[in-house]
């Protein structure tokens, strides 16, 4: 079978950097997001643990002599390592034995269950990298002319024009960042719907061997989709899912959510907890998110046309799209994504915080009519944060679905998602 041309990913340089500073690298993330293909670009040999012609033999060998599966030119890629969790300890031991860097790449689309966890954490030997579906820069739909790194470095003269219309954004949301859809030019929601059906009927069952009711899984996914980009409590989700199913208890829901997290489907946004000038209480709830907005669209049976007829829900999905892309861009500069909201209802949809403690506030607005209010909101946040303890924001930004990128007189950036990049 002919292999498709590799679509470069922003994670490529992170893979190389981590291999040059650790004995092995674990690339983890949801199925179909491109982990194996990216890992193969850096590998000299590959072991596919789910190869149907050989998997039974691999598993038997892992039971009696796992070191045999490590033989091959290095770096050696071990795909879906969690099929034989003992391989983790074998890799760690070999890294300790040789003391060499860049020997192994492990990829995994699920976290092993508790009774199969490796005996050793791999700290100092096995680095980690989270991969997600493709961002709009990686799919070629965003020009990336407004660089997140340059914003953090103090740039003030960037400008750009987005090629993406609002209908284009609706199509990008429903298609998702799945490489299979992007590379093949699929312009529909069907790939994401196939993914969701596989999760409901197969993946969530296989992750830990627990038999879960597919209709309950679907109901929980729909509840998450309805509450996307909000601070909906677990109680709210439970009441939404339960309906007439009184047997769906809180412990049962936690079990289902844990399974969805273990296959990297759910990726909530944690709360940012800065020091404030006032005594306002900060909301600490997570903001509900999937790893890709297409999951929400698929489970709600939405398509681009229906989103254009429901701009309120479109707005929540657009924030999910921005969250996905900012997570990917921030990762390249050693950053993470949070949200902020206090009891006085002052909020920032997203906070980007780098590990050197620089931070930026972001509001997400699909349309242009809310830009003024969003910018004012960010300026109020800047005034409220105790900058003597957390520092001045590196920048404030409103991400929009509009056309032009520019810097306002108050210093707030207005940037279309179609211009934003790493």
Write the CB contacts of 15 (distance below 8 Å, at least 6 apart in sequence).
25, 27, 38, 39, 41, 42, 105, 129
Domain ranges in the chain are: 12-130, 146-421
Angle between helix 166-175 and 190-198 (nearest 10): 30
Q: How confident is the model over 328-375, as pLDDT tens digits? A: 999 999 999 999 999 888 999 999 999 999 999 999 999 999 999 999
Q: Name the maximum alpha-carbon separation found in the chain.
A: 68
pLDDT given at position 259: 94
Q: With contact defined as beta carbons under 8 Å apart, do 417 and 400 qualify?
A: yes
Write the CB contacts of 159 (distance below 8 Å, at least 6 apart in sequence).
145, 404, 405, 406
pLDDT given at position 122: 63
pLDDT given at position 2: 47
Supply 309's token pair.
Answer: 């007829």
pLDDT given at position 1: 41
pLDDT given at position 354: 98
Q: With contact defined as beta carbons under 8 Å apart, do 175 and 192 qualify?
A: yes
pLDDT given at position 295: 98
What is the side-by-side order of every strand in the sheet holding 404-407? 160-161, 404-407, 413-416, 395-400, 359-365, 347-354, 335-341
Cis amide linkage into residue 195, ω under 30° from 0: no
Instruction: Say how far apart CA 205 and CA 404 lie, in whole Å.
Output: 46
CATH topology of domain 12-130: Rossmann fold (3.40.50)
Residues in the chain where the model's pLDDT stays below 50: 1-2
Instruction: Say how far apart CA 80 and CA 353 lie, in whole Å.
Output: 31
Q: How confident is the model over 106-159, as pLDDT tens digits? A: 999 988 765 555 656 566 689 999 999 999 999 999 999 999 999 999 999 999
Instruction: Say how far apart CA 178 and CA 157 lie, in whole Å.
Output: 33
């Amino acid at each position: 079978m002919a292999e498709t041309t590799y679509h470069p990913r922003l994670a490529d340089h992170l893979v190389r950097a981590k291999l040059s500073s650790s004995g092995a690298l674990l690339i983890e993330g949801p199925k179909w997001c491109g982990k194996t293909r990216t890992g193969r670009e850096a590998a000299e040999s590959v072991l596919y643990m789910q190869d149907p012609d050989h998997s039974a033999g691999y598993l038997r060998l892992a039971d009696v002599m796992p070191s045999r599966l490590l033989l091959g030119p290095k770096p050696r890629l071990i795909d879906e390592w969690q099929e034989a969790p003992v391989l983790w300890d074998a890799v760690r031991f070999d890294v300790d034995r040789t003391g060499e860097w860049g020997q192994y790449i492990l990829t995994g689309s699920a976290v092993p269950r508790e009774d199969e966890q490796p005996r050793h954490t791999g700290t100092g030997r096995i680095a980690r990298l989270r991969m997600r579906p493709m961002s709009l820069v990686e799919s070629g739909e965003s020009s990336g002319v407004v660089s997140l790194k340059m914003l953090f470095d103090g740039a003030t003269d960037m400008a750009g024009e987005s090629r993406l219309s609002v209908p284009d954004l609706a199509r990008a949301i429903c298609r998702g960042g799945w490489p299979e859809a992007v590379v093949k030019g699929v312009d529909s929601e069907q790939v994401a719907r196939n993914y969701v059906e596989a999760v409901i009927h197969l993946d969530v069952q296989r992750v830990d061997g627990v038999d879960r009711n597919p209709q309950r899984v679907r109901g929980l996914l729909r509840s998450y989709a309805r509450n996307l980009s909000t601070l909906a409590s677990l109680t709210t989700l439970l009441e939404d899912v339960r309906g007439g199913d009184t047997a769906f208890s809180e412990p049962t829901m936690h079990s289902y959510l844990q399974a969805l997290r273990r296959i990297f489907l759910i990726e909530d946004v944690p709360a940012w907890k800065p020091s404030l000038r006032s005594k306002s209480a900060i909301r600490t709830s997570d903001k509900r998110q999937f790893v890709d907005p297409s999951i929400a669209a698929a489970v709600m049976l939405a398509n681009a046309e229906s989103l254009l007829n429901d701009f309120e829900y479109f707005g929540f999905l657009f924030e999910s799209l921005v969250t996905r892309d900012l997570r990917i861009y921030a990762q390249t500069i050693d950053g993470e994504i949070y949200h902020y909201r206090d009891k006085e209802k002052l909020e920032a949809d997203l906070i980007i915080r780098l590990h050197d403690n620089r931070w930026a506030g972001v509001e997400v607005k699909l349309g242009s009519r809310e830009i003024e209010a969003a910018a004012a909101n960010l300026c109020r946040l800047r005034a409220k944060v105790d900058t003597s303890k957390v520092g001045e924001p590196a920048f404030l930004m409103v991400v929009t679905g509009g056309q032009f990128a520019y810097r306002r007189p108050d210093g707030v950036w207005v940037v279309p998602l179609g211009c934003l990049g790493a």
